[in-house]
Structure 1
Amino acid sequence: MDKQTMVITRWLRLTALVVFAALMLFQNSLIGWIFAAVAAVFAVLTVVQLVRLRSMDD
C-alpha cells in the first residue's frame, strides 16, 4: 500500500468513528442524522477517490 492509500484508509476509519459517535450522542435528533449524512457522503467520496487511485496504479 502506498502512502496516499494509507492516508485515505485512515480518513475512512476516522469518519466511521465520528459517524458512530454522532449517532450515539444525538440519537433520534435531527443534528445527529444531518451529521451522519454529511459524514457518509464524505466517506463515499473517499471510497470513490480510493478506487480511482487503485485503477490508476494498474
Structure 2
Amino acid sequence: VVQRQSNLEAVNKKLEREIEDFEAGLPAFEQQQYDRFARMETALMEIQSQAGFIMSSVGGS
C-alpha cells in the first residue's frame, strides 16, 4: 500500500509539472495566434483597398 501511495504521489507531481509547463506556454501560443490573425487582417485590408482601386479605375462605383 505504501509503495502504491508513493507511486501515486510521483505521478501526481509529474502531472502538476506538466500542467505548469502547459500553462507557462499558453501566453506565447496566444501571442502567436494573435500575430497570425493580425497578419491575415492586414492582408485582407490590402486586398480590399486594391480591389477598390481596380473598381474605381474600371469606372465602377
TM-score by length of 2: 0.49
CA distance in 1, matches of 2:38, 2:30: 13
1:33 and 2:37 correspond = no
**Which structure's residues are more often helix, by fraction?**
2
User: Number of residues paired by the alignment?
Assistant: 31
Instruction: Give every structure 1 segment of 4 or more consecutive aligned residues whose post-TM-superposition deviation is greater than 2 Å.
Output: none
Root mean square deviation, CA, Å: 1.2
Structure ID, larger Rg = 2
After superposition, residues 1-58 of structure 1 pair within 5 angstroms as 29-58=30-59
Any stretches of 5+ residues in structure 1 without a counterpart? 1-27
User: Could you say which structure has the greater relative contact order, defined with CA pairs below 8 angstroms and 6 or more residues apart?
Assistant: 1
CA distance in 2, matches of 1:36, 1:42: 10
